[in-house]
């Protein structure tokens, strides 16, 4: 690496940067000594970090300027970067050949502005902002026309911009590169086209003094033509170019020569524009300059496209990451070895885990091994190797810090390419976990409440049944008393006791048999009542539907004033046994019969009949139908008849049909109703004749 010092007489002095740090200043011990009072004793330093070199101002009085910009912080140096230290011009070069072939750097003299009015072409009275110094003018011209040097600079520009992903940095570096290529340039502007409005907006501008916040004059005519045609424009001499005589902004400006070139986006339309101008008479841009600028613009377009793509990907990543982090469902990504790659906040919080002890660990090792279950391992292995998505595997586990969890686990490979082998790092799994603990607890609570409600419904029938039970037990008990009294009378008569004849013995035995028979009948009735109201768990077995119907009819006769109502039973022969909870199904039929009897009693005449039909369906299920010829159910109530607390009775609770439908649905079927005022009401439901399948949910602790 070298630092080249340009003297005012046109000579050059080359310093090899062999140390880690090179000090430039007025003090004699400086490696590069600049003997001028304006230069500070230790003005600035150039130091190396790895393969890169940086310039740093050492709190000098007059500052250090790189490529026209005063530096406040350490600044990385690139090939052919210009360094201005007071009145001393230096250049940073990377190779000896580049140093020897260096073509010079633009230097400016302070010059008193002339306010003379232009008198015509070539009058020499043009207003200038800056002019080339006499001693560097020949070198600047050689740079402007030395294609080899410009190609070297172009290669450096392409290399430097290739690794830049920040748009603002790209604009700044592009402006610096333009002044390195064209020392005669007065100003340079970079415009970026808004993809929505298709309008070019200034992204950065700079003049030859290194000032960024300037108001650079732009010709709307030129920019508009570039936008419309997509081609670059070169105006070698503004005052002689007749095609732009109508452009007032060009004719009245100080511009003497200019280049305006676009770069195109993926849609083929201009995505950005580089605008360069000079105000120095005779220092005109050439066709070669246009070609070089077009190449620079193309390189800039690629760099801006990369930067924009990087920004879009970065924003998309941040957006997706915010969504993942705020998702309530725990999410975790594992690699082909089932090691945790990343997880969201919900995963850590839900299962009491920490980042330091989770990432990089195998899923099976987390916590106390709750995830190390054969079913889960097998299904995840299958998803990883076959690319078949895992959906809602139900698992239950006890976590030490957060307690019991019931989980639904789903997983899929992040990459859909089936060619990615299982053993490659790309074959990652995204595991989504839905915690259904509260839902399961709620369902368990609902089941418990339904059990309680069912029990309450059965218990509520006891009051109604009590009168019927008393009536039904009255005659057997009377018979028991009478038979018992008769036996006592016979036994108290000594004459009849002694030498009992066979006839008397027969009478006593017959009476005792009647007593036993009636007592047994009372016992059966009481047992049926006790079984009906007893709180119990669901117990499904195969039962005879005829026995269930018989028990329900007996209880229905006791439950309501339906003794005189005609009840017809139509039960098919040879019906298969049904897979049911006998007590629950008896409750449903009982409730339907009681409702039917009450519907008949509501009619003024009290006439009507109830039919209980039981038949085999096409699906080999047993259908039970209870039909009455009562007044029917009102239309406004019919659609809500199965809702809780909906009733047509003055003293009804409105829970019987709701419970009956719940029981029917628990047996895998539905309770249906058909009612009208002409034909009465029919309730029907079906009962399965095959054993239900056992749930396939996996449970582990």
pLDDT at 65 over 90: yes
Do 505 and 542 lie in one domain? The reply is no
Domain C-terminal end among 263, 291, 312: 312
Name the DSSP letter for residue 407: E
The whole-angstrom separation of Cα 63 and Cα 56 is 10
Q: According to the model, what pLDDT value does residue 132 have?
A: 26
Q: 527 with 541, same domain?
A: no
Q: How far apart are CA 192 and CA 133, in angstroms?
A: 34
Does 260 lie in the same domain as 150? Answer: yes
What's the pLDDT at 69? 86
- Is the same domain home to 517 and 574? no
Is residue 460 a part of any domain in this protein? Answer: yes
Do residues 503 and 607 share a domain?
A: no
pLDDT tens per residue across span 647-665: 555 444 445 677 788 788 8
Query: Do residues 175 and 301 share a domain?
Result: yes
| pLDDT grade for 34, boundaries at 50, 70 and 90 | very high
Whether the CB-CB separation of 410 and 393 falls below 8 Å is answered with yes
Strand 44-49 relative to strand 52-57, pairing:
antiparallel
155 shares a domain with 48: no
Count of structural domains within the chain: 4
Reported as a single tens digit per residue, the pLDDT across 71-83 is: 988 898 988 889 9
CA-to-CA distance for 560 and 280, rounded, in angstroms?
116
Q: Domain range spanning residue 655?
A: 536-687
pLDDT tens by residue, 285-313? 889 889 889 989 998 888 888 888 888 88
Whether residues 211 and 80 fall in one domain: no
The residue to which tokens 């760099």 are assigned? 303
Q: What is the pTM of this model?
A: 0.39
Structure confidence at residue 52 as a pLDDT band (50, 70, 90): confident
| pLDDT tier, 24 (very low <50, low <70, confident <90, very high otherwise) | very high
Average pLDDT for residues 444-463, to the nearest whole number? 70
DSSP class per residue in 166-216: -HHHHHHHHHHHHHHH-TT-SEEEEEEE-TTT--EEEEEEEETT---S---
Mean pLDDT along residues 481-506: 65
3 state SS of 153? helix
Residue 259 pLDDT > 80: yes
Could you tell me what percent of the chain has a pLDDT over 70?
70
Q: Which residues contact 136 (CB under 8 A, 6 or more apart)?
A: 6, 10, 104, 105, 106, 107
Average pLDDT over residues 350-354: 85
Map residue 2 onto helix, strand or coil: strand
User: Within 10 Å of residue 630's Cβ, how many Cβ atoms?
Assistant: 23
Average pLDDT value for the chain: 76
Flag whether 330 is in a domain. no
CATH number at residue 214: 3.30.450.40
């Amino acid at each position: 690496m070298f630092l080249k010092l340009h003297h005012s007489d046109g000579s050059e002095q080359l310093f090899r940067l062999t140390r880690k740090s090179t000090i430039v200043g007025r003090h004699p011990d400086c490696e590069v000594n600049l003997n001028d009072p304006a230069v500070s004793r230790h003005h600035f330093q150039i130091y190396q970090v790895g393969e890169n070199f940086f310039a740093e101002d050492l709190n000098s009085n007059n500052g250090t300027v790189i490529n026209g910009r005063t530096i406040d912080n350490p600044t990385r140096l690139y090939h052919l970067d210009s360094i201005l230290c007071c009145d001393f011009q230096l250049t940073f070069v990377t190779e000896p050949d580049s140093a020897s072939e260096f073509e010079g750097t633009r230097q400016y003299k302070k010059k008193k502005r002339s306010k003379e009015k232009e008198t015509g072409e070539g009058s020499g009275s043009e207003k200038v902002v800056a002019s080339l110094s006499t001693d560097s003018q020949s070198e600047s011209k050689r740079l402007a026309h030395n294609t080899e040097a410009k190609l070297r600079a172009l290669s450096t520009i392409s290399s430097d911009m290739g690794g830049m992903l920040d748009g603002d940095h790209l604009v700044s570096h592009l402006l610096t590169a333009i002044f390195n290529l064209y020392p005669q340039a007065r100003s340079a502007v970079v415009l970026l086209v808004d993809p929505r409005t298709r309008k070019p907006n200034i992204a950065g501008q700079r003049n030859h003094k290194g000032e960024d916040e300037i108001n650079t004059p732009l010709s709307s005519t030129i920019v508009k033509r570039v936008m419309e045609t997509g081609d670059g424009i070169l105006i070698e001499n503004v005052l002689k170019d007749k095609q732009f005589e109508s452009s007032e902004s060009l004719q009245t400006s100080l511009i003497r020569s200019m280049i305006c070139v676009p770069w195109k986006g993926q849609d083929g339309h201009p995505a950005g524009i580089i605008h360069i101008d000079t105000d120095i008479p005779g220092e005109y841009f050439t066709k070669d300059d246009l070609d070089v600028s077009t190449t620079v613009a193309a390189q800039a377009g690629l760099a801006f496209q990369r930067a924009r793509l990087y920004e879009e990907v970065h924003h998309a990543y941040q957006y997706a990451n915010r969504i993942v982090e705020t998702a309530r469902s725990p999410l975790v990504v594992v690699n082909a070895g089932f090691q945790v790659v990343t997880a969201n906040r919900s995963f850590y919080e839900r299962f009491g885990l920490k980042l330091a002890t989770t990432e990089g660990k195998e899923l099976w090792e987390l916590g106390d091994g709750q995830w190390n279950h054969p079913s889960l391992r097998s299904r995840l292995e299958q998803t990883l190797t076959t690319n078949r998505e895992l959906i809602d595997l139900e698992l239950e586990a006890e976590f030490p810090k957060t307690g019991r969890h019931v989980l639904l686990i789903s997983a899929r490979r992040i990459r859909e390419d089936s060619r990615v082998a299982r053993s490659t790092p790309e074959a990652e799994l995204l595991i989504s976990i839905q915690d259904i603990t509260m839902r399961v607890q709620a369902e368990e609570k609902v089941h418990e409440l339904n059990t309680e409600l069912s029990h309450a419904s059965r218990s509520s029938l006891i009051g109604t049944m009590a009168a019927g039970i008393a009536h039904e037990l009255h005659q057997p008990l009377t018979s028991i008393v009478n038979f018992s009294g008769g036996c006592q009378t016979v036994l108290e008569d000594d004459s009849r006791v002694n030498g009992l004849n066979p006839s008397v013995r027969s009478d006593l035995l017959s009476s005792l048999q009647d007593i036993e028979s009636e007592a047994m009948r009372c016992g059966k009735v009481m047992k049926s009542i006790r079984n009906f109201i007893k709180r119990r768990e669901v117990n499904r077995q195969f039962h005879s539907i005829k026995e269930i119907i018989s028990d329900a009819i007996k209880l229905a006769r006791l439950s309501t004033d339906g003794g005189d109502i005609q009840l017809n039973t139509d039960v098919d022969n040879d019906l298969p046994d049904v897979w049911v909870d006998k007590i629950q199904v008896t409750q449903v039929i009982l409730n339907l019969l009681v409702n039917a009897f009450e519907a008949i009693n509501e009619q003024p005449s009290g006439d009507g009949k109830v039919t209980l039909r039981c038949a085999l369906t096409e699906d080999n299920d047993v259908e039970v139908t209870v039909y009455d010829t009562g007044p029917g159910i009102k239309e406004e109530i019919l659609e809500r008849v199965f809702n809780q607390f909906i009733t047509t009775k003055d003293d009804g609770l409105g829970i019987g049909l709701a419970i009956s439908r719940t029981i029917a649905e628990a047996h895998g079927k539905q309770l249906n109703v058909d009612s009208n005022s002409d034909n009465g009401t029919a309730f029907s439901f079906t009962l399965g004749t095959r054993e239900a399948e056992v749930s396939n949910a996996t449970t582990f602790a």
